[in-house]
């Protein structure tokens, strides 16, 4: 009985400690401030009819342990290599402290908000509410911002505050200050003209006799890539292999086009199809004219290279532009966060996933970028390989004209290279672009290239990055980039003049949106090798890639990644921030991944 009395007193004390002070006594502290990025202008106060879905992040209790596990299970020299975590184990490591969860719930309840949802680990709380109530909750004012070039609109604020008594229980809240705008124009699609195709063909006539006979670099086919990267003689067969493609912003994969592609380039796959998942109301219509060039490119090449791996396509809802007078809670332009919530709650996740959407790192608040990156780490710890296209604008805007540069730190006239996110996240594999034979860095557009201003150089790439930086002329680009930042891309692949079907037409298309799904297909083939040998999938690739120090890759030593009024960084022997370690040689990698 004595124990029970003290136990009850202890519970009472804990309850009192967690209870918030009277609302009238709350003191608020500024949580975050921001400046609208280049190209965004404030139009008006958000209309009364608007509603918004807030995503409230709570501190993850043991992320440092998850990160340690991620690196250990991804390091081929470590005894834990390949011993990936389960979903339940990951959720246990990222779950918030119970006191933080209770405090956040009490804060919301004090505002009458009890209809809330939680991620499986309870590290995110979601609540939908009228915009005026959101303003009262965060002591802020939401406005409509318009992008001057595209006309797209967002509802955002430039600052918000939280009660001091929360004392670190809430890490961040979005959508508030994030202007990351994942739209098809930033999906790195580029359409070559007939003249550009002819120019590309003539540029490589001299070396054509050394290229695979199947390759015409104005018309890149599955067979060309298979011969070029030496996997043509490999027949995948693992029943438990899988690959996934993410689709956003009304980019729909068309099944008729996919079957035309198969008939044209992969007849053995004819009649097969992918598994489609709708996320946050995402659609996948198959009517005439609804095909998305981005989605078609991604699925045709990822699935064509990796067939017969199990195929997944996620269509995630949430797409600007919108009419603020007709605002709906679903239209928050946070589709990427919606996809992460969905896939992290899925017991079964494809082993290799490609994404072709990104934006300037500086348009994403640092705390939000860090948190999204940590969510990507959770997938890596579970044995998923994540590939992202590095972008098509070199070190920033893709222009060598210093009089027309768009590369400035937000709110200033200070010139700065503009790294991309999520490629700058250290827990993903960034894929750059090459073309022709011998392969050079793509130049009709420029392979995304850079050094993060948010994330430090991870240990796995420190030696490679330090060697490259040391090779640069003294003072070159001082102040324009962060030499201690996470550098990308990690590897590359052909990225121009890919043959696809689009609205039943055979067309050619280019961008690192091509190289990423193609390389992801090759990763699926390497997973097939390991699975057939009774081994775990590769998972997070970068520790393996950098430990090989170029083995298994074709070094690309020519070309550059222009932008921001400069010629940008150059490709050179070994790793470089234009093509990474180069392009894959499957004939070597299939043995290396078994060692």
Q: What is the 3-state secondary structure (H, E, C) of 346-400?
A: CCCCCCEEEECCCEEHHHCCHHHHHHHHHHHHHHHHCCCEEEEECCCECCCCCCC
Considering only CA atoms, which of 63, 208, 194, 60 is closest in space to residue 121?
60
Quick check: 571 and 560 in contact, CB under 8 A? yes
- Buried b / exposed e over 541-560, threshold 16 CB at 10 Å, is bbbbbbebebebbbbbbbbb
| CB 397 within 8 Å of CB 568 | no
Q: Which of 301, 305, 266 is nearest to 508 (CA)?
A: 301
- 523 in Cβ contact with 538 (< 8 Å): yes
Active-site residue, from 294, 334, 359, 439: 294
SS3 24: helix
Kind and range of the H or E element at 125? Answer: strand 124-130
Q: 476, 197 in Cβ contact below 8 A?
A: no
Tokens of 518: 């193609």
Which among 298, 360, 453, 576 is annotated as catalytic? 298
Whether residue 463 contacts residue 480, with contact meaning beta carbons closer than 8 Å, is answered with: no
The residue from 423, 430, 513, 516 that is catalytic is 513
Catalytic-residue membership of 270 = no
Is residue 272 a contact partner of residue 263, using CB atoms and an 8 Å limit? no
The distance in angstroms from the start CA to the end CA of the chain is 62
- Give the separation between CA 200 and CA 232, rounded to whole angstroms: 25
CA distance linking residue 401 with residue 394, whole number of Å = 13
- Asked whether 46 and 324 are in contact (CB, 8 A), the reply is yes
Residues 6+ apart with CB under 8 A from 531: 238, 240, 241, 537
Sign of CA dihedral 257, 250, 491, 448: positive
SS (H, E, C) 409-444: CCCCCCECCCCEECCCCCCCEEEEEEECCCCEECCC
Sign of CA dihedral 496, 497, 498, 503: positive
233 labelled catalytic: no
Which DSSP string corresponds to 64-83? HHHHHHHHHHH-TTSTTTT-
Residue 245 tokens read as 């493609």
CB of 509 within 8 A of CB of 184? Answer: no
- Give residue 581's Cα distance to chain centre: 20
* Alpha helices for 153-206 (secondary structure H): 194-203
Nearest Cα residue to 158 out of 256, 32, 265, 73: 32
Reading the block at residue 134, the tokens are: 């959101």
State yes or no: is 449 an active-site residue: no
d(CA 60, CA 281): 28
Kindly list the catalytic residues: 294, 298, 513
């Amino acid at each position: 009985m004595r124990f029970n009395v003290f136990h009850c007193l202890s519970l009472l004390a804990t309850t009192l400690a967690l209870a918030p002070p009277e609302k009238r006594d709350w003191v608020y502290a500024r949580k975050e401030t921001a400046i609208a990025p280049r190209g965004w202008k404030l139009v008006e106060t958000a209309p009364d009819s608007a509603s918004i879905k807030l995503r409230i992040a709570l501190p993850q209790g043991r992320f440092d342990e998850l990160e340690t596990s991620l690196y250990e299970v991804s390091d081929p020299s470590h005894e834990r290599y390949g011993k990936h975590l389960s979903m339940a184990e990951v959720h246990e490591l990222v779950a918030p402290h119970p006191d933080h969860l209770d405090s956040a719930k009490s804060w919301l309840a004090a505002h009458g908000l009890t209809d809330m949802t939680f991620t499986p680990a309870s590290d995110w709380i979601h609540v939908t509410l009228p915009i005026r109530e959101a303003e009262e909750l965060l002591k802020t004012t939401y406005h409509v911002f318009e992008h001057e070039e595209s006309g797209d609109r967002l509802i955002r604020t430039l600052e918000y505050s939280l009660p001091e008594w929360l004392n670190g229980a809430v890490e961040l809240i979005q959508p508030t200050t994030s202007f990351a705008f994942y739209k098809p124009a930033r999906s790195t699609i580029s359409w070559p003209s007939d003249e550009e195709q002819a120019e590309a063909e003539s540029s490589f006539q001299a070396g054509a006799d050394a290229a695979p006979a199947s390759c015409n670099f104005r018309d890149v086919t599955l067979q060309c890539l298979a011969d070029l990267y030496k996997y043509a003689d490999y027949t995948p067969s693992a029943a438990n292999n899988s690959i996934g493609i993410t689709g956003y912003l009304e980019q729909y994969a068309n099944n008729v086009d996919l079957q035309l592609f198969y008939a044209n380039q992969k007849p053995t796959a004819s009649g097969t199809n992918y598994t489609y998942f709708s996320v946050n109301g995402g659609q996948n219509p198959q009517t005439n004219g609804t095909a998305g060039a981005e989605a078609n490119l991604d699925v045709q090449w990822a699935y064509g290279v990796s067939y017969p791996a199990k195929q997944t396509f996620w269509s995630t809802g949430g797409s600007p532009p919108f009419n603020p007078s007709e605002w709906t809670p679903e239209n928050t332009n946070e589709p990427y966060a919606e996809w992460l919530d969905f896939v992290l709650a899925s017991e079964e996740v494809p082993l290799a996933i490609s994404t072709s959407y990104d934006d300037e790192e500086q348009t994403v608040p640092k705390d939000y970028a860090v948190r999204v990156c940590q969510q990507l780490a959770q997938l890596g710890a579970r044995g998923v390989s994540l590939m992202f296209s590095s972008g098509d604008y070199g070190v920033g805007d893709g222009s060598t004209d210093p009089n027309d540069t768009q590369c400035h730190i937000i709110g200033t006239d200070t010139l700065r290279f503009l790294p991309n996110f999520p490629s700058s996240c250290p827990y993903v594999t960034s894929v750059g672009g090459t073309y022709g034979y011998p392969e050079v860095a793509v130049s009709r557009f420029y392979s995304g290239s850079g050094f993060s201003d948010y994330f430090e150089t991870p240990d796995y790439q420190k030696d490679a990055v330090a060697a490259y930086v040391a090779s640069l002329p003294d003072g070159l680009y001082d102040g324009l980039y962060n030499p201690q930042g996470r550098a990308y891309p990690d590897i590359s692949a052909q990225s121009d003049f890919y043959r696809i079907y689009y609205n039943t037409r055979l067309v050619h298309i280019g961008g690192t949106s091509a190289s990423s799904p193609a390389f992801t297909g090759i990763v699926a083939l390497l997973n097939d090798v390991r699975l057939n040998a009774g081994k775990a999938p590769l998972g997070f690739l970068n520790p393996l890639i950098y430990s090989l120090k170029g083995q298994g890759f074709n070094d690309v030593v020519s070309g550059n990644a222009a932008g921001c009024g400069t010629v940008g960084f150059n490709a050179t022997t070994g790793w470089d921030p234009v093509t990474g370690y180069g392009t894959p040689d499957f004939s070597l990698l299939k043995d290396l991944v078994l060692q």
